Amino acid sequence: MPAPAPEPGAGRAGGPEALARRLAGYLDDPHLLHRALAHRSYCAEAPGEESNERLEFLGDAVLGLVATEELYRAHPDLPEGDLARMRAAIVSTGTLAQAAAELGVGDAVLLGRGEEASGGRSKASILADALEALIGATYLAGGLAPARALVLDLLGERLAAAPRDAAALGDAKNRLQELAARLGLEPPSYCVEDEGPDHAKRFRASVAVGGRVVGHGEGRSKKAAERAAADEGLAVLAAGERA
């Protein structure tokens, strides 16, 4: 009887076996690991194989939950808009692809011959999708605790750097001012009110552009409330600009 064909990538330095060793303690189920690495191009050439797309779908949700909770707890004064931008930067295809490359996913992912020949091992979308699939597989194998640990191991430094990333994306108040100028409108003006005792004060802000109130926001500080209002104002003015 002829020997079974080796799994694609089995003989490559840093292939699936090397990745399995790196993931030991997080994901120890070889079947789930195999499925998480199975790109649809590989499955098209291997009848009966299931691609990693369902695991990617699950992993995307787990990743979003972990990243959101970390940012929520670490930045209690930031408005939803800033938190959303920070999360978007962390779970972006580019960031995930970089983390996947550092982990060695590119050498381990299972590809069809055509995708292999076209440089699929370095494609950002393939790397990012496989990383999300690995997170989903980890969740299925052991629940949220190991999946959370894996996400923080892979992306913890990026989560810690998220405030700097958000600042690089631009403060909402500055961007609202720039948009108003581009539209030929007067600069934004803010009205802020506060309520509650000094130790638990809440701030409510509204922002007007060109004499029209375009946004409202709340926060635990005046600055946070103004930024939340500016975020809403950005959405309102941007929608009007597109109309």
Percentage of the chain exceeding pLDDT 70: 89
- Name the least confident of 10-14, 102-106, 212-216: 10-14
Nearest to 75 by CA among 166, 153, 154, 199: 166
The residue from 56, 60, 82, 115 that is catalytic is 60
Single-letter amino acid code for the residue at 39:
H
**In what helix (H) or strand (E) does residue 159 lie, and over which residues does it extend?**
helix 144-160
The mean of the pLDDT values for the chain is 86
CATH architecture classification, 172-242: 2-Layer Sandwich (3.30)
The C-alpha atoms of residue 110 and residue 162 are separated, in whole angstroms, by 32
Strand ranges across the sheet with 202-209: 189-195, 202-209, 212-219
Token pair of 133 as six digits: 């699939």
- The Cα-based distances of 128 to 60, 137, 154, 157 in angstroms read 10, 14, 12, 17
Q: Residue 15: name the closest of 34, 40, 39, 35 by CA.
A: 34
pLDDT digits (tens, 9 = 90+) for 55-71: 999 999 999 999 999 99
pLDDT for position 166 = 58
What single string gives the DSSP state of each residue in 104-153? THHHH-B--HHHHHTTGGG-HHHHHHHHHHHHHHHHHHH-HHHHHHHHHH
pLDDT > 90? residue 144: yes
Give Dmax over CA atoms of the chain in angstroms.
83
Domain boundaries, the chain: 16-168, 172-242
Q: Count CB neighbours of 26 within 10 A.
A: 19
Q: What pLDDT was estimated at residue 167?
A: 52
Flag whether pLDDT at 120 surpasses 70.
Answer: yes
User: Is the separation of the CB atoms in 160 and 78 below 8 Å?
Assistant: no
What are the structure tokens assigned to 4, written together? 């079974």
User: Distance between CA 239 and CA 114 in Å, rounded?
Assistant: 42
The pLDDT of residue 4? 31
Look at residues 177, 164, 239 and name the one whose alpha carbon lies nearest to residue 208: 177
Given the residues 132, 226, 231, 232, select the one marked as catalytic.
132
* CATH number for domain 16-168, candidates 1.10.1520.10, 3.40.50.2000, 3.40.50.300, 1.50.10.10: 1.10.1520.10
77 catalytically annotated: no
The answer, yes or no, to whether residue 243 has pLDDT greater than 70, is no
Does residue 199 or residue 35 have the better pLDDT? 35
Please report the pLDDT score of residue 84 as a whole number. Answer: 83
Dump pLDDT digits (tens) for 174-199: 888 888 888 889 999 999 999 888 87
Are β-strands 189-195 and 212-219 bridged in parallel, bridged antiparallel, or unpaired? unpaired
Under 8 Å between Cβ of 219 and 201:
no
If you average pLDDT over residues 63-91, what whole number do you get? 88
Answer with the residue of higher pLDDT: 150 or 6: 150
Instruction: Return d(Cα 168, Cα 234) in angstroms, integer.
Output: 17
80 carries an active-site annotation? no
- Report the pLDDT averaged over residues 36-51: 94
